[in-house]
Amino acid sequence: MPEIARTGSCLCGGVQFRVAGEPRRVGLCHCKECRKTSGSAFHAYAVWPLQAFEASGITSTYGARSFCPTCGSRVPFVGEEEVEVTIGSLDVAPTEGLVPDYELWIGRRESWLQALPAAHQFEHDRVAVDSAAGNEIDPEPRQEPA
């Protein structure tokens, strides 16, 4: 069976990218940073390992967010081991098979939005749980003034 690949771009097309295989996780975040940087009520994203990602074009970065300097669209943020892709930057809508596993900063969720029934709900940042051991591991670093 061929591996699934998804393509995406910014609005002007100057930045193009491709992610192969399924993401490690899919999330929704209601935090201040995600609201401010997206200009929207929340941010929906999926995270792939870096080796699954290819891109072309020029990007600018502010903090842990990247964008196209021409059209201002959010584009994937490339970290040291992972890449965070905004779901809305993918070419096909609705996306197939990308359903959030978790929601962050739910205290900031708009009152007209419902909690996703199957998504793990976090008061603040995600705390990854090692399912075998049940231990908390490696919370994702994000600063958020209360």
What whole-number distance in Å separates Cα of residue 40 and Cα of residue 38?
Answer: 5
User: Of residues 16, 37, 38, 70, which one binds Zn ion by CB under 5 A?
Assistant: 70
* 64 binds Zn ion per the rule CB under 5 A: no
* 26 binds Zn ion per the rule CB under 5 A: no
Q: What SS3 state is found at 60?
A: strand
Nearest approach in angstroms of CB 117 to Zn ion is: 21
* 57 binds Zn ion per the rule CB under 5 A: no
3-state secondary structure 17-58: EEEECCCCEEEEECCHHHHHHHCCCCEEEEEEEHHHEEEECC
User: Of residues 6, 10, 47, 85, which one binds Zn ion by CB under 5 A?
Assistant: 10
Nearest to 23 by CA among 2, 3, 1, 43: 3
User: Of residues 19, 68, 83, 85, which one binds Zn ion by CB under 5 A?
Assistant: 68
* 29 binds Zn ion per the rule CB under 5 A: yes
Stretch that binds Zn ion, among 26-34, 80-88, 92-100, 106-114 (CB under 5 A): 26-34
Contacting positions for Zn ion (CB under 5 A): 10, 12, 14, 29, 31, 34, 68, 70-71
